[in-house]
């Protein structure tokens, strides 16, 4: 952090000002002129919160994607299919047992298993052949998409939110002040906040596991130099299988989250694949903090864009990608 400030004082200043403005917009009571200029504060706050929680969902998908790529250089363009598969599994489980928590466990375990099968049957046979892996996973995603369409049909599914999470809660953020001087507080769906907290916990746990444990050390060493790691006697194939299972399982969990937030239908697989591509391009391939930052930026851009400039919302996301590529082709937080 301090190094960044030392090396790019101008950028650091811009970032600090932007953060300060954003915080002021969130916490302050808006003066009347501002409300007229850019609309009501409630709309803005909702967009920000939706953006942040959507960013949490994108992080869950993209972190698995980037973890697999970072360690194994495996380009898994079927990652979106794993997301949708996890979502369908979660829907089936929660619809039959009524347990939301159980659906997470089932989705994690089953998609992780699919991931292990993929790793053993496909990726192990074409290590180091990037383009071939890309083609094969594109083919697999087509096959998976059609199989899931076959099994689940083209309907929209939504996973039932459990009773104890239904309904909004009041947040200590003032959206407006009534004429009587009584403040109005923001009400926001509890389930989205809980899921966002959970994805933050997962992210922090992953960071701790990668940076503070032995297996994390092995994985980081593998990202940097796979051959030397193998030469030191680590059974790297087992590490690969474990990381692949973890990455795929995260996509499965994200599928359940997405099925609760939004809905599940054919085509969502490609949407989330693209979201994770953009997130990791912006954040930096193979970097977990990068995935977090990229997911936050893209989620916020998408939601704020769709509120304030609905026609060009998708272009905003794209422009961010272009800007990052132009200034830092390797991504914001990539080490290179």
Partner 1 sequence: MSVTHDARIRVHKAAATAQRPAVRGWPDVNNPAAWIAAVILLIMPLIANGFFLIEIFATTLILGTIALSLMFLAGYGGMVSLMQLTIAGFAAYMVAVFGVSGNANISLGWPWWLAVPMALTLATIFGTLGGALAVRTEGIYTIMITLAIGAAFYYFTNQNWAIFNGHTGINNVSTPHFWGVDWRWDIPFYYVALAVAAACYCAVDYISRAPFGLALQGVRDNPRRMAALGFNVNAHRVAAYAVASFIAGLAGVLQVWNYRQISPGSVSVGACIDILIIAVVGGISRPVGPYIGALVFVLLRTFALDFLVKIGLDGNRFRLLIGLGFLAIVFWSSDGVIGLWQRWRQSHRPPSDRPGGGRGHG
Query: Which residues are near partner 1 by CB under 8 A?
Result: 75, 129-132, 134-136, 138-140, 142-143, 145-147, 150, 270, 274, 277-278, 281, 285, 310-315, 317-318, 321-322, 325-326, 329
Report helix, strand or coil for 333. Answer: coil
Least CB distance from residue 247 to partner 1, whole Å?
Answer: 16
Are the beta carbons of 181 and 205 closer than 8 angstroms? no
Can you tell me the distance from the alpha carbon of 39 to that of 47, in angstroms, rounded to the nearest whole number? 12
Q: Among residues 105 and 277, whose Cβ is nearest to partner 1? A: 277
Gap between the Cα atoms of 180 and 286, Å rounded: 53
**Per-residue CA distances from 201 to 69, 204, 208, 231, 249 (Å):** 22, 5, 10, 34, 16
Closest CB to partner 1 among residues 97, 129: 129
CA 104 to CA 90: how far, in whole Å?
Answer: 6
Residue 125 C-beta: closest distance to partner 1, Å: 9
Q: How far is the CB of 240 from partner 1 (least distance, A)?
A: 18
Least distance (Å) from partner 1 to the CB of residue 75?
5
CB of 334 to partner 1, least distance (A): 11
Are the C-beta atoms of 25 and 44 separated by less than 8 Å? Answer: yes
Q: Which is nearer to partner 1, 98 or 139 (CB)?
A: 139
**CA–CA distance from 318 to each of 12, 121, 286, 290 (Å)?**
23, 35, 20, 17
Kindly state the smallest distance separating residue 281's Cβ from partner 1, in Å.
Answer: 6
Between 1 and 121, CB nearer to partner 1: 121
For the beta carbon of residue 260, count every other beta carbon within 10 angstroms.
26
**Which CB sits closer to partner 1, 108 or 244?**
244
Question: Angle, nearest 10°, between helix axes 236-261 and 190-212?
Answer: 170
Tokens encoding 71: 């360690």
Q: What stretch of H or E contains 234?
A: none
| Shortest spacing between CB 270 and partner 1, in angstroms | 5
Q: Using the 8-state DSSP alphabet, how is residue 335 labeled?
A: -
Our CB check for partner 1 shows the closer of 70 and 189 to be 70
Q: Which is nearer to partner 1, 172 or 310 (CB)?
A: 310
């Amino acid at each position: 952090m301090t190094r960044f400030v030392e090396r790019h004082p101008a950028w650091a200043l811009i970032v600090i000002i932007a953060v300060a403005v954003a915080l002021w917009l969130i916490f302050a009571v808006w003066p009347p002129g501002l409300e007229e200029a850019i609309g009501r504060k409630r709309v803005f706050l909702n967009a920000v919160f939706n953006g942040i929680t959507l960013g949490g969902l994108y992080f869950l998908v993209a972190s698995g994607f980037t973890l697999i790529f970072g360690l194994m250089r495996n380009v898994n363009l079927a990652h979106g299919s794993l997301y949708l598969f996890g979502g369908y599994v979660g829907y089936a489980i929660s619809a039959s047992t009524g347990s939301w928590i159980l659906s997470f466990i089932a989705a994690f375990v089953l998609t992780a298993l699919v991931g292990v099968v993929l790793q053993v049957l496909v990726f192990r046979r074409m290590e180091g052949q990037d383009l071939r892996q890309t083609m094969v996973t594109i083919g697999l995603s087509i096959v998976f998409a059609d199989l899931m369409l076959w099994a689940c049909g083209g309907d929209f599914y939504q996973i039932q939110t459990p009773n104890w999470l239904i309904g909004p809660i009041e947040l200590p953020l003032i959206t407006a002040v009534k004429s009587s001087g009584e403040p109005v507080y923001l009400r926001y769906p509890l389930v989205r906040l809980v899921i966002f907290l959970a994805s933050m916990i997962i992210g922090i746990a992953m960071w701790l596991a990668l940076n503070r444990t032995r297996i994390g050390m092995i994985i980081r060493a593998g990202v940097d130099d796979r051959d030397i790691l193998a030469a030191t006697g680590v059974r790297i194939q087992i590490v690969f299988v474990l990381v692949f299972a973890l990455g795929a399982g995260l996509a499965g969990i994200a599928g359940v989250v997405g099925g609760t937030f939004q809905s599940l239908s054919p085509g969502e697989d490609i949407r989330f694949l693209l979201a994770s591509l953009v997130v990791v391009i912006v954040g930096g391939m193979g970097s977990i903090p990068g995935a977090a930052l990229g997911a936050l930026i893209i989620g916020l851009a998408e939601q704020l864009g769709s509120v304030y400039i609905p026609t060009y919302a998708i272009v905003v996301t794209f422009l961010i990608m272009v800007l990052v590529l132009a200034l830092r082709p390797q991504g914001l937080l990539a080490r290179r």
